[in-house]
Amino acid sequence: MPTDHQIIVLGAGYTGTMCAIRLARRTRRLGTAITLVNPTPCFVERLRVHQIAAGRELTEHSLPDLLEGTGITFVRGTVTAIDPETRQVTIDGADTRSYDTLVYAPGSGTDTTRVPGTGDHAFTLDDPRPFSARLDELDAAGGGTVTVCGAGLTGVEAAAEIAENRPGLRVALVSRDEPGALMGERARGYLHRSLDRLGVTRMTGVTVTKVLPEAIELDGGELLPTGACLWTAGVRVPALAAEAGLATDENGLVEVDATLRSTSHPDVYAIGDAAALRQAWGRVHGTCQSGLPAAAYAADTIARRLRGKNVKPFRFGFVHQPVSIGRRDAVIQFTRADDTPRRWYLTGRGAVAYKETISNGPLTMYRLSKRFNVTATLSKGGRATREA
């Protein structure tokens, strides 16, 4: 049995926190020392940041409190460098720590580099409170237009939340694709009727070419005045892995094998948004739905390998696309393993309760995982994960 095996988990989002807590339970008799590194001591519920952006107050959760009783060492700081040859990470440019196994889970952020002016003049959900403060200013001034750029599920939830919580403001959703484009026709129709009820206007089939201080510019040169622009179109991951020499794809995601180990450095596991995870049916996009099962699997796999046992490949399939439409409405599109829509969908109060259960799930899972081996995978994808 190995002793004093140093495991560093980089990032305490949904995946990093899940992996660290499950590792602590799975390896408690193996002589491991687990360190979780994160820039802030607060756990960010990314499933709820659109609520904060709209001005709602939410309970803050302390990472040290979540980790209490696990034996995990929490370090507040940012990993600024990884040296995979010496197996060391540098925290805040000064604190160097060695690892035997590294779990790479830094998450992702909004990409504000591709459209000029986005970084200077648009708000993002990476830090929702400045946007909320801007909405306060607009309310105090008697109203104005809020533009949400990007009609993925994040943009849709944000637009609906703002419209419901800030009825004095006009909300416009601007995107290249139709809101709910990945849903079935009936679920998508319900979503659009709900957005109509909330007064959210949509402009689709357009591309934003520039963000200005008080307007956005479209590809045809048209200017849309706005009092606040919330940018939700596109994500990017830290350059840390690529700079360290780990094998990455064209977007900087760590290339992993079927057991979530780096293809170039097998003592590094990558999970969450920063991992180039694939199944037989195709590429797994980063969501909490896929991240938690990957985190649990990585923890179990590390523990099994420390015990000298064989491991099976990671298998995962999507189950649903849950979308809140404010606090009193929601739509749940049930899906096949590859995230394409099935016939079934859920709306109204049942969907609200379903979505709230999903949003509360990670914190509940962390607390239970301190004592039990909690199942984190809703679906292993069935036949779809076994067929190329």
The separation between the first and the last C-alpha atoms of the chain, rounded to the nearest angstrom, is 37
Element (H, E) at 235: strand 235-236
Give yes or no for a contact between 219 and 206, defined as CB atoms under 8 angstroms apart: yes
pTM for this entry:
0.95
Top-tier CATH class for 5-108+237-315: alpha beta
pLDDT of residue 378: 76
Q: Which residues pair with 170 in a beta bridge?
A: 145
As averages over each run of 10 residues, the pLDDT of the chain (388 residues) reads: 82 98 95 97 97 95 97 98 98 96 97 97 98 98 97 96 98 97 97 98 97 96 97 96 97 97 98 95 92 96 97 96 98 97 97 97 94 82 68
CATH architecture of the domain covering 118-231: 3-Layer(bba) Sandwich (3.50)
pLDDT of residue 2: 47
List the one residue out of 4, 13, 19 whose CA is nearest residue 301.
Answer: 19
Question: What type of residue is 356?
Answer: E
Q: For the chain, what's the residue count? A: 388
Dihedral, 291, 296, 270, 150 alpha carbons, nearest 10: 0
pLDDT of residue 1: 44
pLDDT of residue 383: 73
The string of pLDDT tens digits covering residues 196-238 is 999 999 999 999 999 999 999 999 899 999 999 999 999 999 9
Which residues, 6 or more positions from 159, have their beta carbon under 8 angstroms from its beta carbon?
148, 171, 173, 195, 200
Which residues, 6 or more positions from 379, have their beta carbon under 8 angstroms from its beta carbon?
316, 317, 318, 319, 337
d(CA 12, CA 63): 8
| Tally of CB atoms within 10 A around 152 | 18
pLDDT of residue 224: 97
CA distances from 159 to 113, 156, 232, 257 (A): 22, 5, 10, 38
Q: Which residues pair with 58 in a beta bridge?
A: none
d(CA 107, CA 117): 24
Domain positions in the chain are 5-108+237-315, 118-231
Structure tokens at 44: 């960010």
The string of pLDDT tens digits covering residues 156-168 is 999 999 999 999 9
Give yes or no for a contact between 168 and 139, defined as CB atoms under 8 angstroms apart: yes
Question: Is there a common fold for 5-108+237-315 and 118-231?
Answer: yes
pLDDT of residue 373: 84
pLDDT of residue 314: 96
d(CA 246, CA 87): 12
